[in-house]
Structure 1
Amino acid sequence: MFGAGVTMVAVNAGTVKHSILWFVVGLLVQGLGGGAMLSGTTSLISLIANAGPADQAIATAGSYLFRSLGQVTGLAIANTVLQNVLRKTLREKLHGQDVDEIVRRVRESLDYLEELGPEARGIVRYSYEHALNTAFWVMACSAGLALVTCLFIRETELGKK
């Protein structure tokens, strides 16, 4: 569900078409899928049940460690991709002596858009759109890889070791 939502967002954010309705629907589907993944109460209970009394603390700690690590890593990767693509696109599209200043100020605050001329403002908007689309596709690929890796998870019955 999460992967389908991320893909809907990436497709409708301008890569294939611009559709605010399907973009929002994609965000809703993505949110539902993400919520289902993060509400790991059932997975935590099954993990604890399979771990046994002696290893419950380790199983719980491991579960929270990898969940938190995955969230932080995903956010860091998406943000790094977004910032690098934004910086690269702005430097490619903007011409003149103020390029480094514009790149720095735009990355700090979008309020700086009001101080730019119409041509530079359009370039900045295009650059943000391109960077966001790239980050959405990175997230969609990550969700696809997660889905593929889930296919290899073995299921064990409760009570059997």
Structure 2
Amino acid sequence: MKFYDLSVKTPQGKNIEMGDLKGKAVLVVNTATKCGLAPQFDGLEALHQKYKDQGLVVLGFPCNQFMDQEPETNDTIEESCRINFGVTFQLTEKVDVNGNNTHPVFSYLKDELGGLLGSRIKWNFTKFLVTPEGKPFKRYAPTTKPEKIEKDIKKLLKV
């Protein structure tokens, strides 16, 4: 299994094929609107705006597995993130990032880039950066602010 073999659905149920992202750096983040780390939406959006034209794709994967901090539904998540956080980057349907129903994107990324808890996701806003060639590059802790990832993004995008 490779990153480009995977897909995820939008909140409306439309497929997003990772293979369509070839040649782009992809920042995968599990998000939650009621998390204390939710102000990171601002930093993620700033990265999206600054580098989308150079080849960065930010993908937010809403997840409710950590203290029920994502109460929004697939029907309301995009509007809530846009109104409350100014998010315009792509969000996916709500997913699990741990356990028996872990989404395949997170299964793959956790296998490739283990963390402090082995392959488990510790909390909301764990981030994975994938190279434009589809290779998992680096995993970032939930507390790592998006602006701290910028130097790695610039390196991958060669900007």
Under a length normalisation based on structure 1, what TM-score does the superposition of the two structures give? 0.22
More helix by share: 1
More strand by share: 2
Structure ID, larger Rg: 1
